Protein backbone atom coordinates (compact mmCIF):
# COMPACT_ATOMS: atom_id res chain seq x y z
CA UNK A 1 0.00 0.00 0.00
CA UNK A 2 1.38 3.43 -0.89
CA UNK A 3 0.92 6.74 0.92
CA UNK A 4 -1.31 8.05 -1.87
CA UNK A 5 -2.77 10.77 0.36
CA UNK A 6 0.62 12.55 0.58
CA UNK A 7 1.35 15.36 -1.87
CA UNK A 8 4.14 14.56 -4.32
CA UNK A 9 7.32 16.60 -4.62
CA UNK A 10 6.66 17.44 -8.27
CA UNK A 11 3.13 18.63 -7.51
CA UNK A 12 4.38 20.78 -4.64
CA UNK A 13 7.14 22.28 -6.78
CA UNK A 14 4.69 23.09 -9.56
CA UNK A 15 2.42 24.86 -7.03
CA UNK A 16 5.03 26.73 -5.00
CA UNK A 17 7.84 27.58 -7.45
CA UNK A 18 6.96 30.11 -10.13
CA UNK A 19 10.15 29.73 -12.19
CA UNK A 20 9.72 26.67 -14.49
CA UNK A 21 13.51 26.35 -14.94
CA UNK A 22 13.95 26.05 -11.19
CA UNK A 23 11.20 23.42 -11.06
CA UNK A 24 13.01 21.49 -13.80
CA UNK A 25 16.31 21.75 -11.91
CA UNK A 26 14.82 20.60 -8.60
CA UNK A 27 13.06 17.69 -10.32
CA UNK A 28 16.39 16.76 -11.94
CA UNK A 29 18.24 16.88 -8.60
CA UNK A 30 15.53 14.77 -6.92
CA UNK A 31 15.80 12.19 -9.67
CA UNK A 32 19.62 12.17 -9.36
CA UNK A 33 19.20 11.49 -5.63
CA UNK A 34 16.87 8.65 -6.47
CA UNK A 35 19.49 7.12 -8.80
CA UNK A 36 22.17 7.57 -6.14
CA UNK A 37 19.89 5.92 -3.54
CA UNK A 38 19.56 2.92 -5.84
CA UNK A 39 23.34 2.75 -6.37
CA UNK A 40 23.95 2.95 -2.60
CA UNK A 41 21.42 0.19 -1.93
CA UNK A 42 23.00 -2.22 -4.40
CA UNK A 43 26.66 -1.24 -3.91
CA UNK A 44 27.74 -4.61 -2.48
CA UNK A 45 25.94 -6.49 -5.26
CA UNK A 46 27.45 -4.22 -7.90
CA UNK A 47 30.95 -4.58 -6.43
CA UNK A 48 31.00 -0.84 -5.77
CA UNK A 49 32.38 -0.84 -2.22
CA UNK A 50 35.94 -0.23 -0.97
CA UNK A 51 38.15 2.54 -2.33
CA UNK A 52 39.53 3.52 -5.71
CA UNK A 53 43.20 4.43 -6.12
CA UNK A 54 42.32 8.10 -6.69
CA UNK A 55 42.09 10.93 -4.15
CA UNK A 56 39.87 13.99 -4.38
CA UNK A 57 40.92 17.61 -3.98
CA UNK A 58 40.69 17.18 -0.20
CA UNK A 59 43.32 14.42 -0.37
CA UNK A 60 40.70 11.82 0.65
CA UNK A 61 40.58 8.40 -1.03
CA UNK A 62 37.62 8.36 -3.40
CA UNK A 63 35.10 5.53 -3.18
CA UNK A 64 33.65 4.13 -6.42
CA UNK A 65 30.30 5.44 -5.21
CA UNK A 66 31.69 8.96 -4.70
CA UNK A 67 32.59 9.01 -8.39
CA UNK A 68 29.37 7.35 -9.53
CA UNK A 69 27.23 9.71 -7.41
CA UNK A 70 29.10 12.70 -8.87
CA UNK A 71 28.52 11.42 -12.41
CA UNK A 72 24.81 10.79 -11.77
CA UNK A 73 24.37 14.28 -10.32
CA UNK A 74 26.22 15.96 -13.19
CA UNK A 75 24.22 13.97 -15.78
CA UNK A 76 21.01 15.19 -14.15
CA UNK A 77 22.14 18.83 -14.50
CA UNK A 78 22.93 18.40 -18.19
CA UNK A 79 19.44 19.06 -19.66
CA UNK A 80 18.84 22.02 -17.31
CA UNK A 81 19.66 24.86 -19.67
CA UNK A 82 19.89 27.58 -17.00
CA UNK A 83 22.57 25.84 -14.92
CA UNK A 84 25.74 27.83 -15.61
CA UNK A 85 28.13 26.26 -13.10
CA UNK A 86 28.52 23.27 -10.81
CA UNK A 87 30.85 22.96 -7.84
CA UNK A 88 31.31 19.41 -6.54
CA UNK A 89 33.29 18.07 -3.61
CA UNK A 90 34.78 15.51 -5.98
CA UNK A 91 36.03 17.93 -8.65
CA UNK A 92 38.79 20.46 -8.06
CA UNK A 93 37.69 23.14 -10.53
CA UNK A 94 34.25 24.66 -10.97
CA UNK A 95 32.57 23.09 -14.03
CA UNK A 96 31.16 25.75 -16.37
CA UNK A 97 28.25 24.43 -18.44
CA UNK A 98 27.48 27.63 -20.37
CA UNK A 99 28.52 31.23 -20.58
CA UNK A 100 26.88 32.80 -17.51
CA UNK A 101 23.95 35.18 -17.76
CA UNK A 102 22.18 37.05 -15.02
CA UNK A 103 19.69 34.73 -13.27
CA UNK A 104 21.43 31.50 -14.28
CA UNK A 105 21.88 28.89 -11.59
CA UNK A 106 25.00 27.81 -9.71
CA UNK A 107 24.73 24.39 -8.07
CA UNK A 108 27.12 23.37 -5.27
CA UNK A 109 26.97 19.78 -4.06
CA UNK A 110 28.53 16.97 -2.12
CA UNK A 111 27.41 13.95 -4.14
CA UNK A 112 27.94 11.40 -1.37
CA UNK A 113 28.55 12.82 2.07
CA UNK A 114 29.78 10.47 4.80
CA UNK A 115 30.92 7.90 2.27
CA UNK A 116 33.17 6.17 4.83
CA UNK A 117 29.86 4.77 6.14
CA UNK A 118 29.01 2.86 2.97
CA UNK A 119 31.05 -0.24 3.66
CA UNK A 120 29.45 -0.54 7.14
CA UNK A 121 25.92 0.00 5.82
CA UNK A 122 25.14 3.22 7.69
CA UNK A 123 23.33 6.27 6.37
CA UNK A 124 24.97 8.55 3.83
CA UNK A 125 23.51 11.41 1.80
CA UNK A 126 23.74 14.04 -0.93
CA UNK A 127 23.84 17.76 -0.04
CA UNK A 128 23.16 20.57 -2.49
CA UNK A 129 22.43 24.28 -2.79
CA UNK A 130 21.40 26.60 -5.60
CA UNK A 131 22.21 30.27 -6.01
CA UNK A 132 21.97 32.62 -8.97
CA UNK A 133 24.41 34.55 -11.09
CA UNK A 134 23.98 38.26 -10.37
CA UNK A 135 25.16 39.80 -13.66
CA UNK A 136 25.88 38.71 -17.25
CA UNK A 137 29.34 37.15 -17.61
CA UNK A 138 29.76 37.07 -13.83
CA UNK A 139 31.93 34.03 -13.02
CA UNK A 140 31.70 34.38 -9.24
CA UNK A 141 30.45 31.16 -7.68
CA UNK A 142 31.64 32.01 -4.16
CA UNK A 143 28.51 33.67 -2.83
CA UNK A 144 27.45 34.11 0.78
CA UNK A 145 24.92 31.60 2.09
CA UNK A 146 22.44 34.45 2.65
CA UNK A 147 22.10 34.67 -1.15
CA UNK A 148 20.99 31.06 -1.61
CA UNK A 149 17.78 30.32 -3.42
CA UNK A 150 17.43 26.71 -2.33
CA UNK A 151 19.20 24.15 -0.16
CA UNK A 152 18.47 20.52 0.46
CA UNK A 153 19.78 17.05 0.94
CA UNK A 154 18.79 13.45 0.50
CA UNK A 155 19.46 10.91 3.22
CA UNK A 156 19.93 7.30 2.18
CA UNK A 157 18.92 5.52 5.36
CA UNK A 158 16.21 2.99 6.24
CA UNK A 159 14.18 5.09 3.82
CA UNK A 160 15.31 7.74 1.36
CA UNK A 161 14.16 11.20 2.43
CA UNK A 162 14.60 14.33 0.31
CA UNK A 163 14.65 17.50 2.42
CA UNK A 164 14.19 20.84 0.71
CA UNK A 165 13.82 24.50 1.55
CA UNK A 166 13.42 27.66 -0.49
CA UNK A 167 14.15 29.60 2.68
CA UNK A 168 10.64 29.45 4.12
CA UNK A 169 9.37 25.97 4.97
CA UNK A 170 11.58 22.93 5.35
CA UNK A 171 9.77 19.91 3.96
CA UNK A 172 10.80 16.24 3.92
CA UNK A 173 9.64 13.86 1.18
CA UNK A 174 9.97 10.08 1.46
CA UNK A 175 10.78 8.08 -1.65
CA UNK A 176 7.85 5.76 -2.33
CA UNK A 177 9.23 3.02 -4.57
CA UNK A 178 5.75 1.73 -5.42
CA UNK A 179 4.31 5.12 -6.35
CA UNK A 180 7.56 6.03 -8.13
CA UNK A 181 7.61 9.41 -6.37
CA UNK A 182 8.88 11.46 -3.44
CA UNK A 183 5.85 12.07 -1.19
CA UNK A 184 5.52 14.76 1.46
CA UNK A 185 5.80 12.98 4.81
CA UNK A 186 7.47 15.63 7.02
CA UNK A 187 5.90 19.05 6.29
CA UNK A 188 7.30 22.22 7.87
CA UNK A 189 10.11 20.63 9.90
CA UNK A 190 11.16 22.77 12.88
CA UNK A 191 14.23 22.35 15.08
CA UNK A 192 13.18 22.53 18.75
CA UNK A 193 14.59 25.61 20.48
CA UNK A 194 16.13 23.67 23.37
CA UNK A 195 17.95 20.36 23.26
CA UNK A 196 19.38 17.58 25.35
CA UNK A 197 21.47 15.84 22.67
CA UNK A 198 24.79 16.84 21.17
CA UNK A 199 26.92 15.40 18.37
CA UNK A 200 30.70 15.71 18.29
CA UNK A 201 33.65 13.45 17.48
CA UNK A 202 34.90 12.95 21.05
CA UNK A 203 38.12 11.30 19.86
CA UNK A 204 39.33 14.84 19.05
CA UNK A 205 38.78 16.11 22.60
CA UNK A 206 42.49 16.74 23.23
CA UNK A 207 42.51 19.24 20.33
CA UNK A 208 39.32 21.16 21.21
CA UNK A 209 39.27 24.87 22.06
CA UNK A 210 38.39 25.62 25.69
CA UNK A 211 34.75 26.78 25.10
CA UNK A 212 33.94 23.49 23.33
CA UNK A 213 35.60 21.41 26.08
CA UNK A 214 33.64 23.38 28.68
CA UNK A 215 30.34 22.99 26.80
CA UNK A 216 30.73 19.23 26.54
CA UNK A 217 31.92 18.91 30.16
CA UNK A 218 28.81 20.82 31.30
CA UNK A 219 26.53 18.60 29.20
CA UNK A 220 27.94 15.33 30.44
CA UNK A 221 27.97 16.33 34.10
CA UNK A 222 24.23 15.58 34.12
CA UNK A 223 21.47 16.75 36.49
CA UNK A 224 23.99 17.77 39.19
CA UNK A 225 26.07 19.86 36.76
CA UNK A 226 25.55 23.46 35.59
CA UNK A 227 22.98 22.42 32.93
CA UNK A 228 20.84 20.65 35.54
CA UNK A 229 19.80 17.84 33.21
CA UNK A 230 21.15 14.76 31.45
CA UNK A 231 22.41 15.08 27.86
CA UNK A 232 22.79 12.28 25.35
CA UNK A 233 25.58 12.08 22.73
CA UNK A 234 25.29 10.67 19.18
CA UNK A 235 27.91 10.64 16.39
CA UNK A 236 27.41 9.00 13.00
CA UNK A 237 30.38 10.50 11.11
CA UNK A 238 27.96 11.41 8.35
CA UNK A 239 26.86 15.05 8.49
CA UNK A 240 23.62 14.26 6.68
CA UNK A 241 22.68 11.58 9.22
CA UNK A 242 23.65 13.66 12.26
CA UNK A 243 21.89 16.70 10.80
CA UNK A 244 18.72 14.79 9.94
CA UNK A 245 18.44 13.60 13.54
CA UNK A 246 18.84 17.18 14.82
CA UNK A 247 16.31 18.53 12.32
CA UNK A 248 13.86 15.87 13.44
CA UNK A 249 14.23 15.97 17.21
CA UNK A 250 16.61 18.82 18.13
CA UNK A 251 20.16 18.90 19.39
CA UNK A 252 23.42 20.52 18.47
CA UNK A 253 26.14 19.40 16.02
CA UNK A 254 29.73 20.55 16.56
CA UNK A 255 32.74 20.19 14.29
CA UNK A 256 34.91 23.00 15.66
CA UNK A 257 38.15 24.40 14.35
CA UNK A 258 40.61 22.73 16.73
CA UNK A 259 44.36 22.66 17.29
CA UNK A 260 44.86 19.90 14.75
CA UNK A 261 42.65 21.08 11.86
CA UNK A 262 43.29 24.81 12.40
CA UNK A 263 45.74 25.16 9.52
CA UNK A 264 43.06 23.93 7.08
CA UNK A 265 40.37 26.12 8.68
CA UNK A 266 38.39 23.18 10.13
CA UNK A 267 37.10 19.89 8.73
CA UNK A 268 33.77 20.51 7.02
CA UNK A 269 33.55 22.21 3.66
CA UNK A 270 31.90 25.63 3.57
CA UNK A 271 30.33 25.65 0.10
CA UNK A 272 28.64 22.25 -0.06
CA UNK A 273 28.36 21.09 3.55
CA UNK A 274 28.19 24.04 5.98
CA UNK A 275 26.28 26.63 3.90
CA UNK A 276 23.45 24.36 2.70
CA UNK A 277 22.97 22.88 6.17
CA UNK A 278 23.08 26.36 7.74
CA UNK A 279 20.42 27.58 5.29
CA UNK A 280 18.15 24.65 6.17
CA UNK A 281 18.86 25.13 9.89
CA UNK A 282 17.82 28.79 9.87
CA UNK A 283 14.72 28.05 7.78
CA UNK A 284 13.79 25.42 10.39
CA UNK A 285 14.14 27.93 13.26
CA UNK A 286 17.62 26.87 14.41
CA UNK A 287 21.00 28.63 14.33
CA UNK A 288 24.29 27.86 12.57
CA UNK A 289 27.68 29.42 13.30
CA UNK A 290 31.36 28.80 12.76
CA UNK A 291 31.57 28.88 16.57
CA UNK A 292 30.90 32.62 16.74
CA UNK A 293 29.55 34.13 13.51
CA UNK A 294 26.60 33.06 11.42
CA UNK A 295 27.75 30.71 8.63
CA UNK A 296 25.35 32.36 6.19
CA UNK A 297 27.16 35.70 6.63
CA UNK A 298 30.65 34.35 5.91
CA UNK A 299 32.19 35.44 2.61
CA UNK A 300 33.65 32.32 0.94
CA UNK A 301 37.13 32.77 -0.48
CA UNK A 302 37.83 29.35 -2.04
CA UNK A 303 35.74 26.58 -3.62
CA UNK A 304 36.87 23.87 -1.23
CA UNK A 305 37.32 26.08 1.84
CA UNK A 306 36.83 24.46 5.26
CA UNK A 307 35.12 25.96 8.28
CA UNK A 308 34.18 25.27 11.89
CA UNK A 309 30.52 24.31 12.30
CA UNK A 310 28.14 24.56 15.26
CA UNK A 311 24.48 24.17 14.31
CA UNK A 312 21.13 23.05 15.62
CA UNK A 313 18.82 24.20 18.41
CA UNK A 314 19.31 27.95 18.66
CA UNK A 315 19.59 28.09 22.45
CA UNK A 316 22.55 25.68 22.44
CA UNK A 317 24.25 27.35 19.46
CA UNK A 318 23.96 30.81 21.10
CA UNK A 319 25.36 29.42 24.35
CA UNK A 320 28.45 28.08 22.54
CA UNK A 321 28.93 31.36 20.63
CA UNK A 322 28.69 33.34 23.89
CA UNK A 323 31.37 31.13 25.46
CA UNK A 324 33.75 31.90 22.56
CA UNK A 325 33.60 35.68 23.10
Residues that bind ligand AFP (CB under 6 A): 60, 113-116, 201, 237-239, 267-268
Least separation in angstroms between CB 250 and ligand AFP: 18
Indicate the residue among 6 and 267 with the shorter CB distance to ligand AFP: 267
Indicate the residue among 60 and 218 with the shorter CB distance to ligand AFP: 60
What SS3 state is found at 136? coil
Least separation in angstroms between CB 182 and ligand AFP: 22
Indicate the residue among 114 and 291 with the shorter CB distance to ligand AFP: 114
Indicate the residue among 114 and 308 with the shorter CB distance to ligand AFP: 114
Taking the alpha carbons of 204, 67, 63, 252 in that order, is the dihedral positive or negative?
positive
Note whether 82 and 99 are within 8 A (CB). no
Least separation in angstroms between CB 241 and ligand AFP: 8
Query: Residue 290: phi, psi to the nearest 5?
Result: -90, 15
The CB-nearest residue to ligand AFP is: 239
3-state secondary structure 244-276: HHHHHHCCEEEECCCCCCHHHCCCEEHHHHHHH
Least separation in angstroms between CB 243 and ligand AFP: 9
Least separation in angstroms between CB 268 and ligand AFP: 5
Indicate the residue among 8 and 201 with the shorter CB distance to ligand AFP: 201
User: How many angstroms separate the CA atoms of 32 and 154, rounded?
Assistant: 10
CA atoms within 13 A on the CB side of 36: 38
Amino acid sequence: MTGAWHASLSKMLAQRVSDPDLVQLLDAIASACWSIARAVRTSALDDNQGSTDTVNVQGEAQKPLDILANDLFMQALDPCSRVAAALSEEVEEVTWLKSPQKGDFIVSFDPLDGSSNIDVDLSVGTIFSISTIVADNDQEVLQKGRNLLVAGYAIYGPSTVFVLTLGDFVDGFTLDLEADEFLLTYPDMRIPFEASEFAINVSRQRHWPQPVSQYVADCISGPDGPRGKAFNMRWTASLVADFHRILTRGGVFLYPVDEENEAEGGKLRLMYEAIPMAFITEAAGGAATDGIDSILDLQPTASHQRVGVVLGSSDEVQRIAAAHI
